[in-house]
Structure 1
Amino acid sequence: MNYGIGDILTLLGSLGLFLFGMKVMSEALMKLSGTRMRAFLATTTSNRFFALTTGFLITTAIQSSSATTLMVVSFVNANLLTLTEAVGVVMGANIGTTVTAWLISILGFKVKMSAIALPLVGAGFLLSMSKRAQIKQWGLFTIGFAVLFIGLQFLKDSVPDIGSNPDALAFLAEYTSKGYLSLLLFLGIGTLLTLVIQSSSATMALTLLMTFEGWIPFDMAAAMVLGENIGTTITANIAAFVANYQAKRAARAHLIFNLLGVTWVMLLFYPFIEGVAVVIEQLEGDSPFIKAAAIPIALSLFHTSFNILNALFLIGFLPLIVRIVEWLVPEVVEPEHLLEEPRFLDKASMKYSQTAIKALSDESVRLLENAAYKVLSHGLRVHRKDLESERHLKEILEQIDTIEIDIDQFYSTRIKRIYSKILDYATQLQQKFTLDDCEIETIRNVLVADRLLVQVVKRMKPLHLNMDRYLDSDNDAIRREYNTLRRHILKVVRLIKHIGPVGESLFLRKHVLGIKPKHAANT
């Protein structure tokens, strides 16, 4: 068997064509269902079973578990999903990704797709020329689907016939006949291949191809599939590297969940694959241990049954997995010097409109809680802890302490920079995404609230000076008037804290600007 550099390049080119087809297909599906799908993800994960179903449906729709997992990490980073919900979605994504293996096994090895692939490319090209966005994306999906199977056909043609080379067969037999050591070796190969290619579907296609051509037996291929389940978790962990601790927890949970699944299957490995072989023999008439042509379907069944059983088995332990991850990735308390920089306005959140809007809102709330409340309370000569306590206002107002604060410096270091970043982020958000009316209204409310917040802080300087001057005055009338003013302002601040971040901007628009929200026009 002579296999030179040209043959290796042909093999790599075939793999590249397969990956390109999958990329085009997945991106088209993402754009076709993008906004609705992300809204679906954010609203249908109220319990672990709904979350699992959501993960399965989304991954089946877009044919990419990595895309689903990256979306989950972004949503957790933006606090749109809890850690428990995120792990449930990842469990479902693991099941959804097995659909790809079935498509490749049936259409790639049992159906002659190459005969219709080029006509599909032609039809897809015509559709992609449409000015209507949806028709164009369906055209790109068709092209991607066809190119995927063209790449698979090239892969099949570029893999050498192992049966005609006794030396190669003897070499492979040496590494496939060592029992559990061989299983661990091929598990590692599956993990490494997925790490390098960054696509479990592509690694699955290579595994199916090697079994179909007789390179590796069914049991070693099953071990490679388990390795792919570990390797695919790295994508999310890389994405979470620059995200917050919550997103890191979601990525680690994905890794732990898949590692636990691989561990218990390895302990029951041979009974498990023998059970799969019995089912395939009943359905196909051939055993995957005897006939190589039966292995692709058997491997797809193994992949699906493993992920379904793993999800059903571990979903009951989901709270425990969450606690383990919380222990591994502790909550990060924001250092004092980082209060001068934005916390939520990162590139990861700008990936989707929903996460970007949530980041904008969260940064605004952070600006209010970490900066504005301090200026307001100290400017009124009240300790912040008293402002946030349940103590009666009369009791707080009777305690007049001298509290030093340089409002100009505080505004420059804690508020001005972050407010400027919020405005820049909002501009980028509106330029990047096509937003609906509800999203536009949300952004407007947040920006109005921020502008009012900044105006209030700026106006605190003269008020603070007057408080220092007149609260210690011998004139009872002036002192009483300023205490009345303190009481009114503190009542409003406490009310804003009580209604929380959701109501903050609407409260300020309605009661300070006098603007009535559109959805409240008839109330």
Structure 2
Amino acid sequence: MTRLFPFLAMFALGYLFIQSEHFLKISAGVAIFLFGMLSLENGFKAFSGGLLESVLKRSTDKLSKSVGFGIVATTLMQSSSLVSVLTISFLSAGLITLGAGIGIIFGANLGTTTGAWLVAGFGLKVDIGAYAMPMLVFGMLLIFRKNNSLRGLGYVLSGLGFLFLGIHYMKEGFEAFKETLDLSQYAMNGFKGVFFYTFIGIIATLVMQSSHATLVLIITALAAGQISYENALALAIGSNVGTTVTAILGSLGANLEGRKLAVAHLIFNLLTGILAITFIYQLVDIVEFGAAFLGIEAQDYTLKLALFHTLFNLIGIVALLPFTQKMVWLLNTFIKEKPQTLVRVDDALYLNEAALEFPNAAKEVLFKETKHLYINGQSLIAYALSVRPGDITSGIAPDEIILQRSRPMPKDMESLYERKFKPVYSKIIAFAVRAQTNANEADTEAIMEIRRASLRLAEAIKDAKHLQSNMLRYVGSSNTYIAEEYNFIRANLIKQLRHINLLLNTEEEEMLTLLFGKIERESKAFDAVSGRSLDKLIREQKITNTMATSLMNDTAYASAIAANLTTMAKILFTNHALYEHTSEVITLSEDDVA
């Protein structure tokens, strides 16, 4: 039935189109309007070039700023859906808090009401179709330009053109409808009508996936006299509640925090809708008073509808804003991952569909997922060294760990690689490729660098698999000289792993400088000491030729592991926004290293 539904819907609509040319014109107007909204969203995504994301990050340190950002962004873009998707993606990436996300959603609900004012105050008063044509022509010319900003501007102009054209067709369709069918005869008064038309508004928004499109349809129908003013108010309430489904659908690809925000959006719109329905007649009286104060004519019901829409959303914000932190507490308390998913380290933890929409969010989740991949990879390297992963993160000295783990620990490295490393690694590579679709040149380069970091880590794991075979043979060997050499390799790699752990989890500039210096120094010292020790053992015939060959190869593997891990850390360091201001520390001179 799910697969058949679209075809059945198209068949039913086709039949209605044959029966009524006016219904076809209204439906075409809705379709053109929705296409305009998609073009407008694409335009703002391309045209922002990261500006929107940067403003969002700087505008969420206070709840009042978050609300303000939601109002301004939605007013400018005329799309609460785009603002919702942006907010969910940044929340999923950990770039903003849940409280800030809720504030943005509050503001977006108020910002979206400006669309009703524009349509009621401008769209119905002039021949809006005349403005649409030049916008479409200029927009299409710019869309085919190679420059990303010009192409974005082209999408914005085309989107506005399609929006205006859609409104024009909807208005004409409803006006023509009056000649054959008067829909106002189906008006219902009292709370019975309020509940019925609120439900119709919810269904209409679910179908069109846009409360903005539903509201324009309501305003044009009201202007043509096809619906009563009271029923139009109820439809507006329904469109507000129905738009939460867009946020819920947007959160399906998001992580736990994104889903919490979608629930917060649903709570806000439901409670606002309940308040609006309960006090609808009191709100109508306030609207009448406000309309007289603003100079709105008594018979201008479309502007009164816009005022009503703004009023009940504003009341919802005023009523719920003081309880934002309590809402955050409730969401954190009752919406949790199932216990078993918390320990699924063998799967991606941070990658989500929502973050793909915006390059900054995509880079952040890639950074976090690569750190997660390193934790998984670190455990494989630990097993290759015949120590436990917990030993790496413990406070025990490396030499003490070597004494405690004096016997080889056989582990199936291939099985561990396939289960704990490869699934996450594969998803990082695939996600990075998809993330480049919406990225500009600079963001694409950064994403490719982060992908290169995971590739370096994969190379380190492969070298660790090669290293393991001789490690199992010579750890605990009766030949104390060869055993000491392999223990030297083990101790030094444990130190390197610990330094990289600290490097990826510190925000202190001095500590970062010190860690990079230590990693560089110990890597060079390791190679030098290993070379001298090997020469001496061969000259004094303390190890066999086979042992010498194995040690020579494994020293190279260990050196490659350390080098790949260091390169990985440097790449992540220089491509994470947190460390941009301290990136000069990776270019230490020889004196600095010493």
Structure 1 residues 41, 332: CA separation in 2 closer, same or farther (over 3 Å shift)?
A: farther
Out of 156, 169, 183, which is 1:141 matched to? 156
Partners of 1:392 and 1:401 in 2: CA distance: 14
> Are positions 1:384 and 2:389 aligned together?
yes
Distance 1:264 1:346, change over 3 A: closer
**1:498 is matched with which residue?**
502
Structure 2 residue aligned with 1:254: 265
Is contact 2:113–2:306 with CA below 8 Å preserved after alignment? yes
- Distance in structure 2 (CA, Å) of the matches to 1:304 and 1:70: 22
Select between 511-520 and 179-188 the one with higher mean Cα deviation.
511-520
Sort the Cα spacing of 1:332 and 1:477 in 2 relative to 1 into closer, same or farther, 3 A: same
Deviation at 1:131, TM superposition (A): 6.2
Task: Please give the TM-score of this superposition, normalised by the length of structure 1.
Answer: 0.84
CA drift of 1:295 comes to 1.6
Q: Check whether the contact 1:55–1:92 (CA below 8 A) recurs between aligned residues.
A: yes
Once the two structures are TM-superposed, the CA of residue 140 in structure 1 deviates from its matched residue by 4.4
Residues 407, 61 of structure 1: CA spacing in aligned structure 2 closer, same or farther, 3 A cutoff?
same
Indicate conservation of the 8 Å contact 1:357/1:443, yes or no. Answer: no
How far did 1:234 drift?
0.5
Aligned counterpart for 1:90 among listed residues 89, 101, 105: 105
**CA-CA distance at 1:500 after TM superposition:** 2.2
CA distance in 2, matches of 1:120, 1:422: 41
Name the Cα RMSD after superposition.
3.6
Bigger Cα displacement from structure 2, 419-428 vs 333-342 = 333-342
User: Given the alignment of the two structures, is residue 8 of structure 1 paired with residue 19 of structure 2, yes or no?
Assistant: no
Q: Which amino acid aligns with 2:358?
A: Y
Q: Distance in 1 between matches of 2:436 and 2:173?
A: 48
Q: CA deviation at 1:464?
A: 4.1
Q: Residues 349 and 494 of structure 1: is their aligned pair in 2 closer, same or farther, counting only changes over 3 Å?
A: same
With over 3 angstroms needed to count, the CA separation of the structure-2 counterparts of 1:425 and 1:128, relative to structure 1, is closer
2:445 maps to: 440
In structure 1, C-alpha distance between the alignment counterparts of 2:138 and 2:426, rounded to whole Å: 49
**Which is higher, the Rg of structure 1 or of structure 2?**
2
Identity across the alignment (%): 28
Q: Provide the C-alpha distance between the structure 1 equivalents of 2:458 and 2:517, rounded to a whole number of angstroms.
A: 12
Q: Is the 8 A contact 1:57 1:96 kept in 2?
A: yes
Amino acid at match of 2:208: I
Q: Quote the residue 2:461 is aligned against.
A: 457
| Separation in structure 2 between the aligned mates of residue 220 and residue 87 of structure 1, nearest angstrom | 30
CA distance in 2, matches of 1:424, 1:147: 35
1:302 aligns to 2:317 (yes or no): no
Instruction: Determine if contact 2:436/2:444 at 8 Å carries over to the other structure.
Output: no
Which residue pairs with 1:38 in the alignment? 53
How far residue 308 of structure 1 moved from its aligned partner, in angstroms, is 2.9
Q: Which stretch has the larger CA shift, 126-135 or 311-320?
A: 126-135
Maintained 8 Å contact 1:340/1:418 = yes
1:301 aligned partner, one-letter code: L
140 and 433 in structure 1: CA distance in 2 versus 1, 3 angstrom threshold: closer
Would you say 1:197 and 2:197 are equivalent positions? no
Q: Could you tell me how far 1:278 is from its partner in structure 2? A: 0.5
CA drift at 1:442: 5.8
Quote the residue 1:113 is aligned against.
Answer: 128
Give the superposition deviation at 1:232.
0.8
Cα deviation for residue 93 of structure 1 reads 1.4
Shift of 1:195: 0.5
Write the letter of the residue equivalent to 1:109. Answer: L
Matched positions, count: 508
Aligned pair 1:59/2:63, yes or no?
no
Deviates more, 1:352-361 or 1:455-464: 455-464
**Which residue, out of 223, 228, 237, partners 2:234?**
223
- Which residue of structure 2 aligns with residue 271 of structure 1? 282
Report deviation, 1:368.
1.4
Give the 5 Å matches for 1:399-478. 399-400=404-405, 403-430=409-436, 433-436=439-442, 440-441=445-446, 443-444=448-449, 446-461=450-465, 463-473=467-477
| CA deviation vs aligned residue, 1:303-342 (integer Å, no higher than 9, x gap) | 2232233223322212222233334431245659965554
Call closer, same or farther: CA 1:337–1:510 in 2, change over 3 Å. Answer: closer
Query: For the structure 1 residues 11 and 357, does the alpha-carbon distance in structure 2 shift closer, same or farther, using more than 3 Å as the test?
Result: same
Once residues 123 and 468 of structure 1 are traced to their aligned partners in structure 2, the CA distance between those partners, rounded to angstroms, is 70
Equivalent position of 1:349 in the other structure: 355
Amino acid corresponding to residue 450 of structure 1 in structure 2: S
From 167, 173, 176, give the equivalent of 1:158.
173
Distance in 2 of aligned mates of 1:335 and 1:124: 47
**Pairwise CA distance, 1:65:** 0.5
Alignment-mate amino acid for residue 199 of structure 1? S
Pair 1:299–1:384, CA change in 2 (3 A): same
Deviation at 1:476, TM superposition (A): 5.9
Q: Would the alpha carbon gap of residues 394 and 119 (structure 1) be closer, same or farther in structure 2, given more than 3 Å must change? A: closer
TM-score scaled by structure 2?
A: 0.75
Could you list the runs of 5+ residues in structure 2 that have no partner in the other structure?
1-17, 521-562, 575-582, 589-594
CA distance, structure 2, for counterparts of residue 472 and residue 17 of structure 1: 75
Q: Contact between 1:449 and 1:509, CA under 8 Å: does it hold in 2?
A: no
The residue identity in structure 1 corresponding to 2:502 is H
Query: In the alignment, residue 496 of structure 2 is paired with which amino acid?
Result: V
| Aligned mates of 1:162, 1:424 — CA distance in 2 | 51
Report matched runs for 1:498-517 at 5 Å. 498-500=502-504, 511=520, 512=563
Q: Indicate how the Cα distance of structure 1 residues 136 and 302 shifts in structure 2: closer, same or farther if over 3 A, else same.
A: same
Q: Which residue type is aligned with residue 372 of structure 1? A: G
